[in-house]
Copies of this chain bind each other. A is one copy, B any other.
């Protein structure tokens, strides 16, 4: 069987209590003893049983992580960030993939609850009330979702949207479509809110309101019209399906809910012989690796993934109840260009 603390104690000729101390409160045990204990622990290959420890300390050294769908290329980056930070902090992480089933989320979290010190909920789809109830029972941190009173990590959507529109207007686009994601999605609501805010600055023309953030980059010269198009499933197929509508809308540029949708748009354009960015500029949101691999490569607003995951773990471990908003960054690639005609 595995080597336990007793084995170490016996081998080192001390009590189990001393072994514990040597390991977790080194300064309270005599140097010579400590050395001997540590030495034998190492040679025996002793690894403390975290479950047993957790039983008494109440801290398990484990974290939970819930994602809607690992196959969605947006999430692996976040998972990696969570993992990396957790391992640095010597924590292991339980992963649960809900397969985009909102009803399964709470149950999975509750099952994990006893075995973890807290859980990171990545873009949870469950209703706010349920989220609140969960938060009351176990420490949670939200990533890419925000509700009052719960710590969260999100990104500066407004600024990202401003960068996007600023980029497009600078290229001369005056009529830009936005292909929306699911109405029930927090991420979509945020984008729409940002879009409209920027739209107000820009539509009335001239005077750059610049209310919100200082960097009112959508400058005076800009003047453009934003047309919101009905929501689609936030997938490649959703984008493919939306493409014809966009092409019929008489716009020269389109901002997609996310990169997957943008990729679908791109695909359908290629199939229909529409030149990108010649006939239509396409801009995404997320910055998934895929976007850089297609041709033309996708211009997109990069959302922090690894850093978001790390930040979430930090909040969890430090038990800080704050909301953190990470920066977004426009990444210009080949799918956007000057408006023609």
Interface residues of chain A, those whose CB is within 8 Å of chain B, are: 2, 47-52, 54-55, 60, 62, 65, 70-71, 73, 76-77, 79-80, 83-84, 87, 92-97, 99, 108, 110-115, 236, 263-264, 266-267, 270-271, 289-290, 292-295
A267–B289 touching, CB < 8 Å: no
A70–B60 touching, CB < 8 Å: no
What residue in chain B is nearest A295 (Cβ atoms)? B270
B47–A55 touching, CB < 8 Å: no
B54–A110 touching, CB < 8 Å: no
- Chain B residue contacts of A264, Cβ below 8 A: 293
20 contacts between A and B (CB under 8 A): A47-B110, A51-B51, A51-B54, A51-B55, A52-B55, A70-B76, A70-B79, A71-B77, A80-B97, A83-B96, A87-B96, A87-B108, A92-B94, A92-B96, A92-B115, A93-B94, A93-B96, A263-B293, A266-B295, A294-B295
A293–B236 touching, CB < 8 Å: yes
Complex alpha-carbon distance, A77 and B49, angstroms: 31
Q: Please tell me how many copies of the chain the complex holds.
A: 2
Q: A50's contact among B2, B83, B115, B289, by CB below 8 Å, is which? A: B115
Kindly provide the distance from the CB of A287 to the nearest chain B CB, expressed in whole angstroms. 13
User: Can you add 13 more A-B contacts, CB < 8 Å, to A55-B55, A263-B293?
Assistant: A47-B113, A51-B51, A51-B52, A51-B60, A51-B114, A52-B55, A62-B115, A92-B96, A92-B112, A264-B293, A267-B293, A270-B295, A271-B295
What residue in chain B is nearest A290 (Cβ atoms)? B290
Kindly provide the distance from the CB of A288 to the nearest chain B CB, expressed in whole angstroms. 10
B289–A71 touching, CB < 8 Å: yes
- Chain B residue contacts of A84, Cβ below 8 A: 97, 99
- Chain B residue contacts of A293, Cβ below 8 A: 236, 263-264, 267, 290, 294
Kindly provide the distance from the CB of A137 to the nearest chain B CB, expressed in whole angstroms. 8
Kindly provide the distance from the CB of A100 to the nearest chain B CB, expressed in whole angstroms. 11
